[in-house]
């Protein structure tokens, strides 16, 4: 596990959800990026995070920040957990439709949730056996 200081999270670590192989920004981003206190940019979007294991679900506004092409971090606008201790959802894309899902907890622990696949629905989602991470425009 990779530890990340909680102060970095509070400073605005957020995620950017990929919309598709052609142009992620065309599908998910509305308007110009908003600056975090640390100078990084994020976008406001609607998101849905669902845990198939627990049945917990969050629907609402989220912060999205790109980390690399087709990769992103996603957090709630108010920086509260999605549910339990899950503060940040992380997708690290290997291709436009395959990637790895991990989370950052309130204990600043990064936990790998394994392989995730991106579907091509209206509101694109990354899914694996335990979690759905979906993003759409505001």
User: Is residue 55 domain-resident?
Assistant: yes
Task: Please state, rounded to an integer, the average pLDDT across all residues of the chain.
Answer: 76
What is the pLDDT at residue 19? 32
Residue span of the structural domain in which 126 resides: 6-136
* pLDDT tens per residue, range 4-48: 333 333 233 333 233 333 333 333 344 455 555 556 678 888 999
Q: Could you tell me if residue 1 is inside a domain?
A: no
17 located within any domain: yes
pLDDT over 80 at 122, yes or no: no
Looking at residue 66, its pLDDT comes to 81
Give me the number of domains the chain comprises.
Answer: 1
Let me know if residue 16 belongs to a domain: yes
Q: Is residue 79 part of a domain?
A: yes
What digits encode the pLDDT tens for the residues 62-116? 999 888 877 899 999 999 999 999 999 999 999 989 999 999 999 999 999 999 9
Q: What is the pLDDT of residue 96?
A: 87
CB burial string 45-82: b at 16+ within 10 A, e below: bbbbbbbeeeeeebeeebbbbbbeebbbbbbbeeeebb
């Amino acid at each position: 596990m990779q530890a990340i200081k909680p102060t970095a999270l509070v400073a605005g670590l957020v995620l950017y959800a990929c919309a598709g192989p052609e142009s992620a920004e065309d599908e998910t981003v509305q308007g110009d990026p908003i600056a975090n206190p640390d100078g990084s940019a994020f976008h406001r979007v609607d998101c849905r995070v669902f845990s198939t294991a627990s049945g917990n679900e969050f629907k609402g506004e989220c912060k999205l920040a790109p980390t690399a092409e087709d990769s992103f971090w996603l957090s709630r606008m108010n920086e509260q957990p999605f549910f339990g201790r899950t503060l940040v959802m992380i997708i690290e894309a290997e291709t436009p439709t395959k990637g790895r899902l991990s989370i950052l907890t309130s204990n600043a622990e990064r936990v790998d949730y394994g392989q995730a696949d991106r579907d091509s629905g209206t509101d694109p989602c990354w899914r694996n056996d335990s979690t759905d991470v979906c993003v759409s425009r505001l």
